[in-house]
Structure 1
């Protein structure tokens, strides 16, 4: 059996195809080996020992696997948090896992509103290195098959979260920040960072504005050799383009004079840009860039500024799908490549067919990274699956199947067991099986588990909400040239009966200015179109008056930037931030309320007049 993390050269396409075929064809055996190794190392930890009876060193791998499946319950964050807090306070890592916990990873906090801390080890960084190498290999195979060593650079925006320390001195940081700070990233470069326009000093700069400015500036300086653009998530890349729209004149001045703006004060960043990128006055380049940026509207600006770009690289599935029309406008036909499915708990899924259109994107979970199990979920089971988060009370309710035993067309909640101390942990993501590649299933990410909106007897999932918004936009706004720059929802019960509020940031094609003069009837039709997509219980509640008309509040430009800034101030990493599908916090609501420019309501009940 192959090593769990085999070495390979991402530039060697022939060998790379063989690696991917072995990983996906041997999925069942690899999963058995992964679980056996996790249990061999960790069955004596305090956490697992309670369920595995402090298994003796002589226990066979098969015995340990059987005991694990019979006795170890499904867990939620509430179950592991006490152990994480104890490690953070200085207790030994061995209460959770045999390997030293080197740092704690922080979640984005945008899905459920709670920042969570997860244990991580040096081995987890090795897994991330391997995972990024597989992605680089797939890009080479599908997107750059004819370029060899003549490949260009990527204008790819990357950011860190500065992090903090626990009382015992253990670093707390975002998953991406941990990787960018690691020796694996600095010394091996298996994911191709050397082909990015951003200097490492810009990526590691703790000041987000200085980092963004210099990454975009360097991307403009290298515009002639850029062959792809992007960022981890679609909204981060869009934020970068909007930042460029506000600051291109200053950047052009820097390029024209060969002198970096004085407000860039982070010394390593300033020295790197001045020494390696801004190497003297270049009025001709400044004029080229200025002529493109001055043209309105900004449709096609990515293709115009980086004419050699072949694609936009960013995650555009799940809640990021709402940004596809904006990316399509900026890219003017450039393919949108959604390379991976990621979660803080583990590096997980890769897109084996990067050129698939966003609506068809599926991901394969690498079977050598973690042990994957799944709990089948139907629309009627969402709340049932959410119930019972203690160690014992959901064992009888959730029937788990292994990765290779899932069925095409069915929807599952992801359960992971990792080397770093997560055991049968409920990630909370919903995945639908779309097919198989060899023996490995392919999944479409369909949202977060559970209900995001609820007032009466209705239950609106993230998937339901995103589909409703997309349909309303496609029917009523896209044909008129409007772009949806961001969306979130809120269940308002401040007055009774309550109602749903959608906050939308809209722009026109003309200069991407805020759509303040949009026709009221158009927005009212959008409200009704969203409601018509909701479930039968919602429509019944509307007809009997226990929920009142859905409302859309149009926001001023920059509202979702302000929302992101709020989450960043709370400790969310810029590289991990995703606009929340729904909000619950009064403080978050206030940020948006201050920027409302128009309010619109449904004038009919779904499927019938008022």
Structure 2
């Protein structure tokens, strides 16, 4: 099979990373003398300059090219949203990445015959936009997905590849758009060959919506009419055309599947030709893997690229690898990358992209090379920790502990649908508190909690933490027993709705790993139904 233009481009980019990075830096230096005059800085260092542009000053106070708009981040990393400037070149590079990741995947198709035919079908997604805001100078401020969906680049690129019309993708109401996405994908169920959501948790939230509204969706399909509460005219008109005439036969099929006691494999039962799920399942999202495998009959989980509000980082050149083995190859023409060694103190020197060393820890972590371009793996977000004494429990520690405990839950017929944690210093000694939302694998809605199982979960998590935690918990008694507080079903959906009401965007939202928001904690505490503690100290 001949490589198409995007794959050829990847070969060239990854083989000539040094020259491409130097060319990109030279382009920057011509207008900004970047590397000589601008040291490695934090967001707070450059924030005043971005605010000056937002308030009307010329772009050249921070950029050599005109700033055309701002992205706004999700606020997941540090609990507050940030804005990032961009120019018109961004979307050209984004389209290149979108085409490249699709080319990589289709190139691998002949090797994996069980997913042949995917290039001829449609993609089910749950994307939507949010209302944009403007700076005092008139520049738009919007999340990455909103900006991309509203760009001319997307309109020229989408080519009706999704089951939903563009009007549904552009809807600003998350509930209305989700309902319409489901209606369109159910009517076209035979054509759906894959699902795309930015983060795995977004698909789980969509399934929760389906559990609540499937009867209403069946009524819409049976009558050929959209529910009256769908008031977005673009959604109503476009989805009415997709629904077409009443279809009682299809409605009956959906009812039979959704009305069963268990929803195991519900995705493949409703969309029989679906081949894979495309979403980020690394880092914190790895907790979603067992749930998605349950709902999808263990369809391949494909993580094709990694990006953030700051830039497009890289693509996965081995898209059908196991989720835990995902690495991303840096794309050297998207940004100028510098790597900062982790845990080497204040004297650590910044390393250029082509000078990183295999297996060393950087922001980000380098795991290998593709041609002459480094590959990285997402491990954790910087400084996301929980602590009650002198120990530092990282995001990686927490995710690993939760992943280990899922086997205990599975043996009891339970699934962990959401979690977060906090440091509780109201007791002496202080201790970790984890809020869990659990769900039975059968669909009777009743969560039966066995005390022995839940206490074992507490102990397994403590055993998974680092040696400093275990030592202070066991030897010195300076950390108290870990606590799990089980909440009502739907609690984490309510938590998401609260953060969205405060400005978070649905498809960038990720449950805070460690929660400090008083309002968020109040939502959790109000819905606690049971509490459990570890009954023994972890081994050394």
Q: By how many angstroms is 1:478 displaced?
A: 2.2
Take 1:534 and 1:518, find their aligned partners in 2: how far apart are those partners?
A: 24
Take 1:250 and 1:158, find their aligned partners in 2: how far apart are those partners?
A: 21
Q: 1:148 to 1:300 in 2, by over 3 A?
A: closer
Take 2:336 and 2:135, find their aligned partners in 1: how far apart are those partners?
A: 29
Q: SS where residue 80 of structure 1 aligns?
A: helix
Q: Match for 2:460 among 508, 515, 529?
A: 529
Deviations 1:26-63 (A, max 9, x none): 111111111111222333xxxx5xxxxxxxxxxxxxxx
Q: 1:149 to 1:456 in 2, by over 3 A?
A: closer
Take 1:253 and 1:505, find their aligned partners in 2: how far apart are those partners?
A: 30
Q: Match for 2:226 among 251, 260, 263?
A: 260
Take 1:291 and 1:441, find their aligned partners in 2: how far apart are those partners?
A: 49
Match of 1:454 in 2: 387
Take 1:193 and 1:498, find their aligned partners in 2: how far apart are those partners?
A: 55
Match of 2:378 in 1: 445
Question: Does 1 or 2 have the higher relative contact order (CA < 8 Å, sep 6+)?
Answer: 1
Take 1:497 and 1:226, find their aligned partners in 2: how far apart are those partners?
A: 54
Does 1:397 pair with 2:334?
Answer: no
Q: 1:319 to 1:233 in 2, by over 3 A?
A: same
Say whether the 8 Å CA contact 2:412–2:453 is kept in structure 1: no
Match of 1:226 in 2: 192
Take 1:434 and 1:481, find their aligned partners in 2: how far apart are those partners?
A: 36
Q: Match for 2:238 among 264, 272, 275?
A: 272
Take 1:562 and 1:110, find their aligned partners in 2: how far apart are those partners?
A: 17
Q: By how many angstroms is 1:16 displaced?
A: 3.5
Q: By how many angstroms is 1:105 displaced?
A: 0.8
TM-score, structure 1 normalization: 0.85
Does 1:105 pair with 2:74?
Answer: no
Match of 1:169 in 2: 138
Q: By how many angstroms is 1:313 displaced?
A: 1.0
Q: SS where residue 447 of structure 1 aligns?
A: coil
Q: By how many angstroms is 1:92 displaced?
A: 1.1
Say whether the 8 Å CA contact 1:197–1:219 is kept in structure 2: yes
Q: Match for 1:130 among 96, 106, 109?
A: 96
Q: 1:217 to 1:355 in 2, by over 3 A?
A: same
Q: By how many angstroms is 1:497 displaced?
A: 2.4
Q: By how many angstroms is 1:360 displaced?
A: 0.8
Take 1:362 and 1:402, find their aligned partners in 2: how far apart are those partners?
A: 19
Say whether the 8 Å CA contact 2:77–2:384 is kept in structure 1: no
Say whether the 8 Å CA contact 1:157–1:232 is kept in structure 2: no
Take 1:168 and 1:496, find their aligned partners in 2: how far apart are those partners?
A: 52
Does 1:377 pair with 2:342?
Answer: yes
Q: 1:193 to 1:553 in 2, by over 3 A?
A: farther
Matches within 5 A, 1:246-395: 246-275=212-241, 277-378=242-343
TM-score, structure 2 normalization: 0.95
Q: Match for 1:468 among 370, 377, 401?
A: 401
Match of 1:157 in 2: 126
Match of 1:90 in 2: 56
Match of 1:52 in 2: none
Q: SS where residue 380 of structure 2 aligns?
A: strand
Say whether the 8 Å CA contact 1:161–1:572 is kept in structure 2: no
Q: 1:148 to 1:374 in 2, by over 3 A?
A: same
Q: By how many angstroms is 1:503 displaced?
A: 1.2
